[in-house]
A and B are shown apart, each in its own frame.
Chain A
Amino acid sequence: AQSVTQPDIHITVSEGASLELRCNYSYGATPYLFWYVQSPGQGLQLLLKYFSGDTLVQGIKGFEAEFKRSQSSFNLRKPSVHWSDAAEYFCAVGENYGGSQGNLIFGKGTKLSVKP
């Protein structure tokens, strides 16, 4: 069965420090991959997506992610974190086989706290 694992429940980084959030997936083929961010009480905002092609994808707010097929990973990175980045981050896999409807399978999320 398809699944997404985000090993870190909570991460705290200092403002200005670099960030890497981990995501591993289990899927039979190359999936569609996404990172979403959620602020308290809000819906999910798309940060970036991978469908095919270049394995390093750029997103909004200075985020990037790298798809590594050999490691079944899609880690999210940012070189310098801002206090406004504090939120919960979700990695998701989208089904892309012929008969699928594109449902998203989410990880449990990583909560990011930023120290001043």
Chain B
Amino acid sequence: DTGVSQDPRHKITKRGQNVTFRCDPISEHNRLYWYRQTLGQGPEFLTYFQNEAQLEKSRLLSDRFSAERPKGSFSTLEIQRTEQGDSAMYLCASSPRRDQPQHFGDGTRLSIL
């Protein structure tokens, strides 16, 4: 069990650029979640995958955001045309079942210049 891995740890980009983050969940965890955490706040749910199917999306996930989990293993989160308000920590979590705890990665911190 190597834990949830996220890459990159930090991303600095200019407003208007596209960015993509990657999450590798714990192997055999079929449930994968993305959260966003802004300064001074708790994480907020963005989207959920069960295997390769994206089953739920928060209203926080605007049209500029897209997430995939093509083979039911790793997942990517892409933000197009980044805005200042996208600056946040993006956290990925995985779990084997709904009644099992979610294990979090160390997150990707996005800074928009």
Contact = CB atoms under 8 A, between A and B. Distances in A.
Contacts of A94: 98, 102
Give the contact-size bracket for chain A: 20 to 34
Given A41-B109, A43-B107, A109 B41 contact: yes
A44 interface: yes
Contact of A90 (B31, B43, B55): B43
B91 interface: yes
Contacts of B6: 43
Interface residues of B, number: 28
A108 B95 CA distance: 23
Contacts of B31: 101-102
A60 to B, nearest CB: 12
Interface in A85-116: 90, 92, 94, 96, 100-109
B45 A103 contact: yes
Contacts of A107: 42
12 contacts: A4-B42, A42-B107, A43-B105, A46-B101, A51-B99, A90-B43, A96-B99, A101-B48, A103-B45, A103-B56, A106-B44, A108-B40
Interface of A: 4, 32, 34, 36, 41-46, 49, 51, 90, 92, 94, 96, 100-109
